[in-house]
Structure 1
Amino acid sequence: MTELTPTPSFESIRHMDEDGHEFWYARDLQPLLAYASWDKFKRVIEKAMLACSQSGQSVPDHFSQTGKMITLGKGAQREVLDYCLSRYACYLIVQNADPSKPIIAQGQTYFAVQTRRQELADQADFQQLTEDQKRLYLRQELRSHNKQLVEAAQQAGVETDLDFAVFQNHGYQGLYGGMSAKDIHAHKGLKKGQKILDHMGSTELAANLFRATQTEDKLRREGIQGKAQANQTHYQVGREVRDTIQRLGGTMPEHLPTPEESITTLEQNQRTPQLKLEDE
């Protein structure tokens, strides 16, 4: 498996305001996303602002216009347009950026993962759940999104059960540092027939949910065709989720503890909590 080049640090250009809210400057994000021209990058920002408006969000809440002083020849300075961007704004920007740039794919995964993590963290209902209730909810989410992932993979050319098993392994290998589904199964000490997703804690399930949702989105958005391309896409997204966890100082999924009770046991003991969480 070919190693990916290290992801530039989107964390390194992140700022915090006086109230503890994070933001990014558009002028800092521009070179990181490989845009040499501000005019071209500004057109991407404008597309992202339109998408923000169409989603029912307040554009000024996510794209705050500001100024930045730049140094010209002989030490002269001039103020230029800049934007303070929320995480959601950055997410919309990378979604509307040039997909042919390798860094864009990395940015899409990074900000998608970060946005989804914050969405869950911000849900008061979700935070009030016990660990077992979180596991039940996330496992239910994964069942739903895995069906959509199967459909997207089939459209990309992943046709047979064996094809899909190989496709799934690529995603796991990216997220688990080279471990296949069989390796993870053995690592958890599971018996034949036991599903690895039923023996994960909420943090590990969340990481796999990010992997599944972002792979499906990337397959559809970029119109990826061919089993090899689909497999590599799944691996890359899994790897990006892993790299993001590492940058945030989190525990790698293979090092997270395996719960004593399976999802099947929990489902037998209690009903899945009915949460009215916001759509993604």
Structure 2
Amino acid sequence: MDSRDIEKWRVKLDSYANVEDGVEYWLARDLMEPMGYTRWENFAEVVKRAKVSCETNKTPVDSHFRDTTKMVTAGVAARAVKDYKLTRYACYLIAQNGDSNKQEIALAQAYFAVQTRRQELIEQRFAEIQRLQARHSLSDSEKQLSGIAFKRGVDSKGFAIIKSKGDEALFGGKSTAEMKQQLGVSKSSALADRLADVLIKAKDLTNSMTAFNAEEHDLYGLDQIKQEHVENNTSVRGSLIDRGIVPENLPPAEDTKKLERRVKADEKKLKEGTDGFTDPQGRLDL
């Protein structure tokens, strides 16, 4: 998605904003389609999860999620359907609880996280959220691969060898330790935290390929699974180099751990900076 697409999407979200007694809000049914959902039943489940998150964060749910109705026309008949008035914070929580595979969800997180609507800030936060999503996906695929490996006769020491040999194949013979030193990563930190986004996704892909083939071809033991992982990393490396991307030559990217802390701090500011549908005395304006 390029800058022009993001700008069109931002303008659309801007057009749905309303103001009630000085409080900016959006209607859930207006946001459903821009967030990548076509069925209200599915989107309503996301809203429910967001309300639970709000309660878990010890924030009054009714201050950010206001029940309302909307009139819709079917043929010549009109009927009232359930809807919600949502503060900016409520919208952010909905985006957090949406399908992370939808590009619109990452955009929504970026849009509602920033208090200003400046295009460049939305683009920056969108890129940051996508980087964090990629890193989380890599963690998930690594856990999946380790689980499969353990069931197929590989212990924790053996799995560490599989990961290490995979890195050597991806980085042209350079070990994990050598890449950490090159990128300025401490021994106790994960190499992936400082890798460029394209390499995080590359490692995620090789994990998924190895996990799939280990089960598909009934691979067993350290040697067979290690060989499969090395071949997959070698294949992915070849594809990257064919497109002019040399994995070991890419510069370090921002530490995902630091990035996640900053995003969470911004989320806290967002939470504290929105009063919701309440007056100074804390009463709901029903």
Q: From the CA coordinates, give the structure whose radius of gyration is larger.
A: 2
Give TM-score, length-normalised by structure 2: 0.48
